[in-house]
Amino acid sequence: MLTVLTQIGGTVWLFNFGVYKVLKSSKSKRVKVLSFIVAYLLVSFLVIPPIAESLGRVPLPITKSGTLIPHNYITPLLNRHYVKPKLKSELLDISNSINTDNPKLKVSYLDANFPFIDGFPLLPHLSHNDGRKIDLTFYYTQNKKEGNLKPSNMGYGKFVEPNQNEVNQTNICKSKGHWQYDFAKFVTLGGRNDLEFDFQNTKKLVRQIVNRSTTHKVLIEPHIENRLRLNNDKIRFHGCHAVRHDDHIHYQIK
Ligand SMILES: [Zn+2]
């Protein structure tokens, strides 16, 4: 489970408990778990970043002081914030430009990739396996004021629902038997209901992404794509085998 969630956690767990076994130590379970947590944090933040960098992936900023920020600290804590250096520099360009244009706005990222191994999927995202993909949050307003507040604590699962006259892709996919399509609603870890979808700023962000020559594609729900009216063939529908994309933007480079 630790390997699926964090890639390196399972290895640190085995190493940690292996050491106690070799030493024939009778330390309590609590001490062993505590030492695992300390070892996991040390390995995650001191050992992994330089090794990952030498193998071609770099961590994104883990504090909220810059213009590119984790929406939730759980993402870097689980080592799910690694990308190719090219994607990092594109993201920083985009976030700096958005922030220069409007200092109230930053770019919040969600799941990216693990630090190592092309093809090792970052579940539940099957395609986040090569350092080229990342999910970003939409923008929302609170009492018409712009900012960086988001409706879901995890970043996923609070949807911008289609209107009655828009394509309802969720109904289409679920009627075809794709039960997982709106599964993200179960993993919000709580949230808030006082925010409104900020169409204008979300459109600015998507436009910034699709105008870059390195961008391969952006995945977003059909009714959001129709509202954005960007008419760009890099914006695509992900298919019913994936999950709803009216709670985040999936961005990937070539
Ligand atoms: Zn994605």
pTM for this entry: 0.91
Residues 9 and 132 in one domain: no
Tell me the per-residue pLDDT of 58-78, one tens digit each, with 9 for 90 and over: 999 999 999 999 999 999 999
What whole-number distance in Å separates Cα of residue 56 and Cα of residue 178?
A: 35
Residues 49 and 94 in one domain: no
CA of 123 to the centre of ligand 1 (A): 10
CATH code, domain carrying 151: 3.30.1380.10
pLDDT band at residue 83 under the 50/70/90 scheme: very high
| Chain-centroid distance, C-alpha 35 | 28
Last residue of a domain, one of 54, 69, 90: 54
Strand, coil or helix: 205: helix
CA of 242 to the centre of ligand 1 (A): 9
Range(s) of the domain holding residue 158:
58-253
Residues 182 and 96 in one domain: yes
CA of 134 to the centre of ligand 1 (A): 5
pLDDT band at residue 123 under the 50/70/90 scheme: confident
Q: What is the mean pLDDT of residues 144-172?
A: 94
Q: How many domains is the chain built from?
A: 2
Residues 108 and 181 in one domain: yes
Residues 68 and 26 in one domain: no
CA of 25 to the centre of ligand 1 (A): 44
CA of 36 to the centre of ligand 1 (A): 30
Residues 48 and 165 in one domain: no
Residues 46 and 74 in one domain: no
Residues 110 and 208 in one domain: yes
Residues 168 and 106 in one domain: yes
CA of 251 to the centre of ligand 1 (A): 7
CA of 22 to the centre of ligand 1 (A): 42
CA of 237 to the centre of ligand 1 (A): 12
